[in-house]
Each structure stands twice: as C-alpha cells, then as structure tokens.
Amino acid sequence: MSLETLITENPQIEDLINQQPTFWRNPDYAQKATLPFSKTDIFDAVARLDRFAPYLATVFPETAATNGIIESPLISLNHMQKIWNQPAHELAGHLYLKADNALPISGSIKSRGGIYEVLKFAEEIAIAHGSLAYMYDYSILASTKFRKLFADYSVIVASTGNLALSVGIVATTFGFKTTVYMSHDARQWKKDKLRANNVTVKEFNTNFSAVMPKARAAAASDPNCHFVDDEGSNDLFLGYAVAAVRLQKQLKAQQIKVDQEHPIIVYLPAGVGGSPSGVTFGLKTILGPHVHAIFCEPTHVPSVTLGMMTQLNNRISVYDIGLDGLTAADGLAVGRPSRLAGKVMRTLLFGSVTFPDNDIYRYVAQLQDMQHITVEPSAAAGFTGITPTIKNMPAFNTPNATHIVWATGGSMMPKSERNTNYAKGKALLTDTLAHV
C-alpha cells in the first residue's frame, strides 16, 4: 500500500509526518474481540511471582521489606495537579503517579515483564534439569548447586536500555551467561551498569529495529539460549499485566472507585508497545471497561500510533513515513511496534497522543520541584497525554475521574544524569515563561 493511499485512508498520518502533536482516538475501542490471553494467564503469572518471592528477597535485599514482591506505590500528585488549574484546560478530577520509576532491582516498568520472563526460564530449567518442585521454598535457587546448573544456559536480549537492565541484572544473578544487544539510543550509564553486573554488552551504531535481528540470530544459534523478544514475547506481556492485580489493591486501599461515574484514565509511555499493552490488557481484564488507556509517544517515533492507525501494526515503521526515529526518550526510541501490541490493543486502547521532546523535560523539572520525585525523560511522557485528552474528551474531565500517569523509570539514574535533565527542563520552563 502506498503512502498516498495510507494518508487518504488515515488523514492524521499527515500530522505524524509533519511531527505535529497529535491526539488519535481508536475507532475500534470497546468492540468485541477474541484475545490471546485471559484472566487465568494473569493469575498464573501472579502465582509464579509469588513462588519466586523468597528467592528475590534473598538475592535482592531491597525487596526484603516487601517479602520479595516487586511493586511500586500509587502517589497522589496534589501539588503537581496545580499545573492544570487553568480555565481552558483545568483538570477536574484527581491526579496520581504509578511510580514504576521506584520499582526495585532495575528501577523501571521493565522490572515487571523482564524479570518475570527470566524467572519463568529459570523455573523451567530448575524443574526439568534440577531438583526444584513447585511447592519448594524457591530461595534454594540461590544456592551454588543451582547457580552451576544455570551457568550452562544463556540469555540474550536487545534493548534501548531499561529492558536490558531488568533482564541483565536478574539473569546474571541466577548465573546465566547474559548478553545485551544495544542500539545507539542507549544511555552510557545503562551500559556501564550492565557491565558492572557482569553482563556482556554489544553496542551497535544503529536503531533498535535493526539490532533485533542480530540478537535473534545469535540466540537461535545456541540451543541453551533463551531470547527475550521485546517485539513479541507472551511472557513479557503477562509479566506487565500483573501490575493490574496490584493496582486494584492500591485503588481499594485509597478508596478510589472505578465505575461508569468514576472513570480511570491511565497515561502510559509507549516505545515498542509491549509494557503499556501488557499493563492495559491487565487493567481492562481486572478492573473492567471503565479504565481507559492513552499511549504517549514522541513525535519523532510514534510507532504504536502509526501501527494502530493504519492497522499494519509491526508491518510499518516510522522510517516508512520519513521520520528519523530520534528522541531524547531513549526508552521510547523504537521505530517498529511489537507484534503483540496492535493485535491485542485493537479493541482495548482508547487512543494515543504524540509530543515533542521538550515537553517531557519540562515535566521532569516540574515533578522534581512540586513533588520531589525524579524520573528519566521517557518516564515523564504520560504527563503529555493529560491536556489533549481532557480537551478532546470532556467526559473524562469530571470531578469523579481519576487520572494516573505511569512513570516508567528513573530511580537508577546517576546524579549527574538527573542534574542534566533537571537543568534542561528548568531552562525550558524559564524560556516558556519569558514568552508568555
């Protein structure tokens, strides 16, 4: 199909080509569909994470306080909400942060899916080739005996950064030989952190989509190697979906209702689309139809939006419409979406927004100033979805609505990186005020 035909059928592609901030509403939202996963699959993942909790508490002391459960807080942003106290775009409901930037072990949303997939691989090996049984205390997996067993196996993943951290840190802790293939978007501090954890890092001066085939081919050449496929892994997807079960408990604890009169709108940064899609599937499955997900992507890399808009999903990339795929949001620098994202999100995703990079730096600074919370630039992407959503969807902007921005990473950033991001955000805010 030619680009001209695509534009004729989907006029908003013109806005994507011109890097214009865009609000796209999914015309297939809430239609009936047959999904490849179910609530049973989510609770199978919950049970596996529970089995591994004693192991995680043993090898990662930072999880001991939660007895080995990997979870993040739900934080009221009562101070930051004042940003939207403007007559034209006033936020009438309540604003919260789902602080996956504070998740233990790897400090990002990838601590859900990435760690979960490695745990499942380790469990399969330990049961098939070791002495593990499902009812055992899994802390025995930290023993020398099991580390020797795991040393015969390897794990490979391709990543722009955060997935590499989650997979790399946990896989090497088990004893797996671990290799990460990284694109040019990856931050140096993430490479340094991986190498400090005895992960082999292979760098390529190309984009993420071009790195994936190299990693996939390397994994296929070794029968004892497990490839963590960010473009289509069921295990990654279900690991992310577990977030909904945990969020349900947090909503109950804070007496936040979810029903027709009390909608919840969730704003999720999207790169390849796997983690926000997994979370969205979980939210719709566990919390029901009155949770609405908005994906947020850079104007230079609107890969999931483009795939969903055209219904070509992973068969189209941002490079096909002339975009360069370059963004400061390294976790979102993925030109071709997940094979799973569009398929599962076809009827579950309410819509998406695109934003210029400068916006996320401003929100990084404002979140630090107003709430004393630090996130990396890509993790602030959710904030960009609020204004266009309430502008286009007045029904979501009621006093009873709850808006949740999903902060996807940042707690492991070096201080120098934090200071640089904050300074850039403050400079942009000062410049904006000077032109008001």
Q: What is the pLDDT of residues 270-324, one digit of tens each?
A: 999 999 999 999 999 999 999 999 999 999 999 999 999 999 999 999 999 999 9
> Candidates 3.30.70.3280, 3.90.70.10, 3.40.50.1100, 3.90.1150.10; correct CATH number of 109-232?
3.40.50.1100
255 burial (CB, 10 Å; 0-12 / 13-18 / 19+) is: exposed
pLDDT band at 215 (very low <50, low <70, confident <90, very high): very high
Q: What is the pLDDT of residue 434?
A: 58
Q: What angle do CA 281, 287, 289 make, to 5 degrees?
A: 80
**pTM (global) more than 0.95:** yes
Instruction: Give the architecture-level CATH label for domain 3-37+63-106+237-434.
Output: 3-Layer(aba) Sandwich (3.40)
Say whether 87 sits in a helix, a strand or coil: coil
CATH 3.40.50.1100-classified regions of the chain: 3-37+63-106+237-434, 109-232
Tens digit of each residue's pLDDT (9 = 90 or more) over 54-99: 999 999 999 999 999 999 999 999 999 999 988 777 999 999 999 9
- Res. 33: pLDDT tops 50: yes
The fraction of the chain above a pLDDT of 70, given in percent, is 99
- Mean pLDDT (the chain, rounded): 96
* Arithmetic mean of pLDDT, 368-388: 98
Q: What is the pLDDT of residue 302?
A: 98
- Res. 349: pLDDT tops 50: yes
- Position 202, amino acid: K
For residue 230, the tally of other CB atoms under 10 A from its CB is 27
Q: What is the pLDDT of residue 174?
A: 98
- Res. 18: pLDDT tops 50: yes
- Res. 267: pLDDT tops 70: yes
Say whether 4 sits in a helix, a strand or coil: helix
176 burial (CB, 10 Å; 0-12 / 13-18 / 19+) is: buried
Q: What is the pLDDT of residue 436?
A: 43
Tens digit of each residue's pLDDT (9 = 90 or more) over 123-172: 999 999 999 999 999 999 999 999 999 999 999 999 988 999 999 999 99
Q: What is the side-by-side order of every strand in the sheet holding 177-182?
A: 200-203, 177-182, 154-159, 225-228
